[in-house]
Amino acid sequence: MKSISLNISIEQYQNINELNETDAMLCNMAEQALASSYSPYSKFRVGTAVRLKTGETILGSNQENLAYPSGLCAERVALFSIGSAYPNAVIEAMAITAQTDAFEILKPVTSCGGCLQVMAEFERKQASPIAVIFYCLNGEVLKVPSIKSLLPFAFVEDRLEK
Q: Is residue 35 part of a domain?
A: yes
**What does pTM read for this prediction?**
0.94
Q: How far apart are CA 130 and CA 125, in angstroms?
A: 11
Residue at 28: amino acid letter:
N
**φ, ψ dihedrals at 16, nearest 5°:** -70, -15
Q: How many domains does the chain have?
A: 1
What's the pLDDT at 162? 66
What's the pLDDT at 161? 72
Q: Is residue 152 part of a domain?
A: yes
Which residue segment(s) compose the domain that 147 sits in? Answer: 11-161
What's the pLDDT at 155? 84
- Known catalytic residues are 75
Bridge partners, 60 (sequence order): 48
Please report the DSSP string for 45-107 in residue order.
EEEEEEEETTS-EEEEE-B--SSTT--B-HHHHHHHHHHHH-TT--EEEEEEEEEESSS---S
Q: Is residue 139 part of a domain?
A: yes
Q: Is residue 104 part of a domain?
A: yes
* pLDDT < 70 regions, the chain: 162
